[in-house]
Amino acid sequence: MRIAMIGSGYVGLVSGACFAQFGHDVVCIDKEEGKIARLRKGEMPIYEPGLDKLVADNVKAERLSFSTKLGDAVANADAVFIAVGTPTRRGDGHADLSYVYAAAAEVADAIRGYTVVVTKSTVPVGTGREVARIIRETQPSAEFDVCSNPEFLREGAAIEDFMKPDRVVIGVESQRARDVMAGIYRPLNLIQTPMVFTNIETAEVTKYAGNAFLATKITFINEIADLCEKVGADVHDVARGIGLDGRIGRKFLHPGPGFGGSCFPKDTLALAYTAREVNAPQTIVEQVIEVNNARKKRMARKVIDFCGGSVKDLTVGVLGLTFKPNTDDMRDAPSLDIVPALQSAGAKLQAFDPEGMSEAGKLLKGINFTKTAYEAAFEADVLVVITEWHEFRGLDPRRIKQVMRQPRIVDLRNIFNPEEMRGLGFTYEGVGRPQPRN
Ligand code: UDX
C-alpha cells in the first residue's frame, strides 16, 4: 500500500515508520521545513526508544521518505492519514481542530483516484464527518472515503505498542475502505490482533472513552492512596489485592503525583466539553480532571509539610521532570506545578532528568540543572522524586545519604523501599504507604 502521513509529530512519525516496517510505501509530511530536513539527516525531533533505528532502516530500504509537500504523496496514495496536532483550544478546553481541517482541505485538492482519508489524530466525535464534508466541498469529484483509526500508543513504548497493539479500532463505512484498511493492518493478523470495525462516530468515542477510563483509574488509586496514608494501609498491596480481580486488572493502578502528558489532560477536557455540548455531561470525567489538577498542586504542599511546614531557604533536589519516564515530553508534567510552588515557598531547586532537561529549561526558570542524579542530591535538604526513571531505582542510597545535607526523601512514585530507606537513616515518605508508628 502507498501511504501519505500528514503531520510528523509523535503519532505521525511513529505510525509512518511502523507502517513502513509493515512493508508499505510511506511518505511522512510536515509543514516545518527544519523538522523534515533533520529527519532526512536521520535526526529525530523527539526522544523515543528505537525510533531512530526504525526510521534509518526503512529509509535505507526506500520504504520511508520525508517531504514538506503533500501534493505528490497524496496523489499517489491509497490512504492518507491525518496525524496533525489537536491541542487544547485556549479559553474553553475543547480540542482545536484547525490543523485537522486545514489538512483536510489541502488533501482534498491533491486527491487523485480513489483514496481513503483516515483521521489518526485524537479527534472529537463528528470530526470524521466534517473532514468528509470539507473534502466534498473542496473537490466535489473526489473519489474517497473517510475513516477513523484512533491511535493508542504510549510515549516511551510507542513502537512496541504500535507493532503489538491490544487491538486496532477502525471506524469505516464502506467495504472498499474497509478492504484498504484491512490491507494496511494485514501484518497484525499474524499475531492475531483483534480488529474492531465500527462506524466512524463509534471509533471516535472509543478513543476518548479509553483514555478517560485510564485517567479515571489512575485518579481512583491516587485517592485511595490518600486514604491509605491516613489509616496506615499500603496502597501497593491494595492495588495488588484489587488488581488480581480480572474485572479490575492490575495495570494503571500506580499512585503518583497525578497524570500528565500530551493525551490524558487534553482528551479528558475535550471529552467533557463535547459531552456538555450534546447535553450528556460526563460528570465522572469532569471530577477526574478537577481531582487530578488539585492533586498536582497539592504535591508541593506535601513536600513542605514533610519539611516541617517550610522550605524557605532550603535546597530541594529533584529527580525527574518529564511527565513519565522514557520521554523528553514535559507537556502537563506534574513538575510544572510542583517546582514553581516550591520556588515561591522560598526553596532553591536543583534537578536532574535523563532526557527532559532541555525541554524543562524552556518551561521552568531559576533551577540549577545538574549532570547527574547524585549532583541533584548534593547538599540538598530534601530530595523529591517526581518521575520514576528506571535508572533512579539503581541509585546507591548510601551515596545519596552521604552527599545530602539532610537525608530526607519524598518519593512521589514509590521507587524506593520505605523500610530499607528508613533503615539507612533517611526520613522517608512515599505515596499511600504507612508511616512508621512511634
Ligand atoms: C496515554 C495512553 O496510555 C495511550 O493509550 C494514548 O494513546 C495516549 O495517552 P501516554 O500519555 O504516553 O499514553 O502515557 P501513559 O503511560 O498512559 O501515562 C500517562 C500519565 O499517567 C503519566 O503522567 C503517568 O505517570 C500517569 N500514570 C500512569 C500514573 O500516574 N499511574 C499509572 O498507573 C499509570
Q: Do 17 and 117 share a domain, yes or no?
A: yes
Reported ipTM: the value is 0.93
pLDDT in tens, 316-333: 999 999 999 999 999 999
Q: Do 163 and 288 share a domain, yes or no?
A: no
Looking at residue 382, which CATH number applies to its domain?
Answer: 3.40.50.720
Q: Do 157 and 254 share a domain, yes or no?
A: no
Q: Do 134 and 282 share a domain, yes or no?
A: no
Cα-to-centroid distance, 154 and ligand 1 (Å): 7
Which of 164, 198, 232 delimits the end of a domain? Answer: 198
Residue 200: count of CB within 10 angstroms of its CB? 23
How far are the Cα atoms of 220, 221, 391, 422 from residue 227, in angstroms, in the given order? 11, 10, 30, 22
By three-state DSSP, how is residue 87 classified?
A: coil
Domain count, the chain: 2
Rounded to whole angstroms, the Cα distance separating 41 from 66 reads 10
Residue 206 counted as domain residue: no
Asked whether the predicted pLDDT for residue 225 surpasses 90, the reply is yes
Contacts 24+ apart (CB under 8 A), 272-281: 272/93, 273/92, 273/93, 273/94, 273/95, 273/124, 274/94, 274/124, 274/125, 274/126, 274/208
Q: Do 313 and 385 share a domain, yes or no?
A: yes
The residue to mutate among 224, 259, 269, 329, having the most atoms of ligand 1 within 8 angstroms of its beta carbon, is: 259
pLDDT, the chain, mean: 96
For ligand 1, whether the C-beta of 317 sits within 6 Å is no
Q: Do 93 and 173 share a domain, yes or no?
A: yes
pLDDT in tens, 153-202: 998 899 999 999 999 999 999 999 999 999 999 999 999 999 999 999 99
| Pairing label, strands 115-119, 144-148 | parallel
> What is the atom index within ligand 1 of the atom nearest the CA of 251?
33
116 or 95: whose pLDDT is higher? 116
Q: Range of 425's domain?
A: 243-429
Asked whether the predicted pLDDT for residue 93 surpasses 80, the reply is no
In the set 28, 228, 263, 307, the catalytic residue is: 263
Residue 229 counted as domain residue: no
Which of 143, 169, 198 delimits the end of a domain? Answer: 198
Query: What's this model's pTM, rounded to 2 decimal places?
Result: 0.94
Predicted local distance difference test score (pLDDT) of residue 267: 93
Q: Do 82 and 178 share a domain, yes or no?
A: yes
Asked whether the predicted pLDDT for residue 437 surpasses 70, the reply is no
Predicted local distance difference test score (pLDDT) of residue 92: 81
For residue 263, indicate whether it is catalytic. Answer: yes
Rounded to whole angstroms, the Cα distance separating 102 from 438 reads 64
Residue 405 counted as domain residue: yes
Predicted local distance difference test score (pLDDT) of residue 387: 98
Residue 228 counted as domain residue: no
What is the distance, to the nearest Å, from the Cα of residue 279 to the centroid of all Cα atoms in its chain? 28
Which of 174, 198, 222 delimits the end of a domain? Answer: 198
Annotated binding site for NAD(+): 30, 35, 86, 122, 155, 266, 331
Q: Do 147 and 72 share a domain, yes or no?
A: yes
Q: Do 194 and 320 share a domain, yes or no?
A: no
Look at phi and psi of residue 94 and say left if phi exceeds 0, alpha if psi is from -120 to 50, else beta: beta
Q: Do 54 and 173 share a domain, yes or no?
A: yes
Taking residues 44-66, what's their average pLDDT? Answer: 96
Predicted local distance difference test score (pLDDT) of residue 326: 92
Residue 232 counted as domain residue: no
